[in-house]
Amino acid sequence: MMKKLLKDIRFEAGNGRRQFLKIAGYGALGLMAGGFRPLLDQAAAGQHGDVISKTGFVPDIDISLVAKPGDLAMFPGAATQIWQYHAKVIKGDKNRVVELPRSYLGPIIKAHRGEKIRIRFTNSIPEPSIVHWHGLHVPAVMDGHPRYVVPQGESYLYEFEVKNRAGTYWYHPHPHGRTGPQVYGGLAGLFLVSDAQEQSLGLPDGEYDVPLVIQDRAFDGDNQLLYMPGNRMAQMTGFLGDSILVNGRPDVTLPVSTTAYRLRLLNGSNSRIYRLAWQDGHSLTIIGSDGGLLEKPVSRGYVFLAPGERIELWSDFSDRPVGYETALISLPFDGGAMGRGMMMGGRMGSNQSIPNGANVSIFSIKVTKSVNIKRVLPQRLSEMSAIQETGADNYERPRQFYLNMGHMQWTINGRVFQMQGVADEEIVQLGSKEIWEFHNTGGGMMRMPHPIHLHGKQFRVIGRNGVRHQGYVDEGWKDTVLLMPGEGIRIQVAFDDYPGLFLYHCHNLEHEDMGMMRNYYVRKV
């Protein structure tokens, strides 16, 4: 039942290679140093070295994006060696690329729904890489599948229309086996989408719309990033650092005014899960999740945020005095046997990693200014259609995916990643609407949480079983869902356009790199 290669997928692979040869030809002509692939065979060089697409793609925004090594003064003493994305607007509104000061994170890319984006990615790190647009609904060839990696010095051309709802998306590398270390080294950035519906709500904007990327890291005595020790057991757990960074900075305090804020949180950590809560006991008001605004705000005492997931909070400080302080913290939770196993073994050298599920502070809030900006939380945030479970094409027999472990290796339905490999049960028909079920029932002694992510799609959560937690925000559109040990989840996903090969995987990046990732194939009927 394992390792089945499809004929049509082999054909696709062959196609890719032919494209590559053609592109190499363009490079030889000197039209495009390095060569963009695979779209270059559809493009020709314009007057000033511009890419003119033969497909007629006229971008509203044209951006160059480079991944390259650098260093950053993060602490007193030696600068920290990092890998970083740098972006520049070549054509269009210059404000669509926003740098995060003093951060290793890539700039925030901003787009409006319906806009056409061209991104000329150049890989200048000393190993193959490719960029994935996490959460964006783009064609397979634009999705940053690991089969499209480019070596150092080469480029990849992305051209796509932003079809997503307004929301907080992000980009990061996706080479097979090296996503964990590349993201860890600093390669990640936010991709914010706006739309007219969102703008009609009058949500906090400008300085009151704050992106907060949460990550954990470990540093040696020389301020250099520490990663895995090469210990299989540590890899089975995933990387856990000893300090929590927000937007690439340790010990962050956010100064706020006495008004409402929109806080966009991304868990950009490799494997750490947060159980978010306000230190002062206020409940969290959630207005958005992975795929944008919820239908209406929801309130939770705490919220789990697993790697890859986003939530947006409405936080109103208008009734707090100047000088008031609180913090966003992560409450303790039982992360499964492996969360503790990590702690036992210790991770590396002298550093003591914080176990998953430990009580930690993420960032502090301090009310520093009194302002008179009154905002009312809209009780209706967006339109969301009801889930029509019985309308799914496989309602009688939902697809089943079992998360398990075998031979010190996390698996999905007993399999690990194969670059072009697709099993029968991973083929879906273009135009179909399906129910998929994931079960985190395996692992035996080594049970662990797994955040499951689908590429190219936003889906809806129908329900869960075996749930021991209240901290899920399953109400909105999702692309990543957390399954605690023993939990099962039922999602609905529509494959209405974009045929081809897409990934689904665990977003614990060490699990992903070890092969807890598979392809699904959307086949044209």
- Give the binding site for Cu ion (CB under 5 A): 134, 450, 455, 506, 508, 511
For strands 310-316 and 399-405, give the pairing. Answer: unpaired
Please pick, from the candidates 272, 310, 505, 511, the single residue that binds ligand C2O as defined by CB under 6 A. Answer: 505
Our finding on whether 118 is near ligand C2O (CB under 6 A) is no
HSE-CB of 175 using CA atoms within 13 angstroms = 17
When CB distances are held under 5 to 8 angstroms depending on the partner's kind, the choice from Cu ion, ligand C2O, none that residue 508 binds is Cu ion
Minimal distance in Å, beta carbon 252 to Cu ion?
Answer: 26
Helix (H, G, I), strand (E, B) or coil at 1: coil
SS3 of 64-127: the string is EEEEEEEEECCCCCCCEEEEEEEEEEEECCHHHEECCCCCCCCCEEEEECCCEEEEEEEECCCC
Helix (H, G, I), strand (E, B) or coil at 443: coil
Q: Which is nearer to ligand C2O, 247 or 315 (CB)?
A: 247
When CB distances are held under 5 to 8 angstroms depending on the partner's kind, the choice from Cu ion, ligand C2O, none that residue 217 binds is none
Minimal distance in Å, beta carbon 213 to ligand C2O?
Answer: 13
Helix (H, G, I), strand (E, B) or coil at 31: coil
Q: Which is nearer to Cu ion, 173 or 297 (CB)?
A: 173
Minimal distance in Å, beta carbon 221 to ligand C2O?
Answer: 32
Minimal distance in Å, beta carbon 453 to ligand C2O?
Answer: 5
Q: Please state whether the peptide bond connecting residue 38 to the residue before it is cis, i.e. omega within 30 degrees of 0.
A: yes
Nearest CA to 157 out of 51, 26, 54 is that of 51
Helix (H, G, I), strand (E, B) or coil at 507: coil
Cα–Cα distance between 263 and 113 in angstroms, integer? 21
Q: 20 near 151, Cβ under 8 Å?
A: no
Q: Which is nearer to Cu ion, 72 or 467 (CB)?
A: 467
Nearest CA to 22 out of 39, 10, 6, 46 is that of 39
Q: Which is nearer to ligand C2O, 326 or 519 (CB)?
A: 519
Q: Which is nearer to ligand C2O, 51 or 403 (CB)?
A: 403
By rule CB under 6 A, what count of residues binds ligand C2O? 10
Q: Which of residues 186-245 bind ligand C2O (CB under 6 A)?
A: none
Q: Which is nearer to ligand C2O, 65 or 503 (CB)?
A: 503
Q: Where does residue 335 fall: left (phi above 0), alpha (psi -120 to 50 degrees), or beta otherwise?
A: alpha
What does the per-residue mask of binding to ligand C2O show for 144-173, with x meaning CB under 6 A?
----------------------------x-
Please pick, from the candidates 112, 439, 450, 455, the single residue that binds ligand C2O as defined by CB under 6 A. Answer: 455
Q: Which is nearer to ligand C2O, 134 or 464 (CB)?
A: 134
Please pick, from the candidates 37, 96, 120, 134, the single residue that binds ligand C2O as defined by CB under 6 A. Answer: 134
**Edge-to-edge strand order for the sheet containing 116-123?**
36-37, 155-161, 116-123, 61-72, 80-91
Helix (H, G, I), strand (E, B) or coil at 444: helix
Minimal distance in Å, beta carbon 418 to ligand C2O?
Answer: 15
With tokens 């339109």, the residue in question is 383
Residue least distant from ligand C2O (Cβ): 134
When CB distances are held under 5 to 8 angstroms depending on the partner's kind, the choice from ligand C2O, Cu ion, none that residue 172 binds is ligand C2O
When CB distances are held under 5 to 8 angstroms depending on the partner's kind, the choice from Cu ion, ligand C2O, none that residue 505 binds is ligand C2O
Q: Which is nearer to ligand C2O, 261 or 504 (CB)?
A: 504
Minimal distance in Å, beta carbon 206 to Cu ion?
Answer: 29
When CB distances are held under 5 to 8 angstroms depending on the partner's kind, the choice from ligand C2O, Cu ion, none that residue 320 binds is none
Nearest CA to 150 out of 55, 52, 27 is that of 27
Task: Enumerate the H helices of 193-299 as residue ranges.
Answer: 196-199, 232-237
When CB distances are held under 5 to 8 angstroms depending on the partner's kind, the choice from ligand C2O, Cu ion, none that residue 503 binds is ligand C2O
When CB distances are held under 5 to 8 angstroms depending on the partner's kind, the choice from Cu ion, ligand C2O, none that residue 174 binds is ligand C2O
Cα–Cα distance between 112 and 163 in angstroms, integer? 9
- Which residues lie closer than 8 Å to 10 by C-beta, 6 or more apart? 420
Q: Which is nearer to Cu ion, 134 or 415 (CB)?
A: 134
Q: Which is nearer to Cu ion, 113 or 145 (CB)?
A: 145
Helix (H, G, I), strand (E, B) or coil at 216: strand
For ligand C2O, the binding residues (CB under 6 A) are: 132, 134, 172, 174, 308, 453, 455, 503, 505, 507
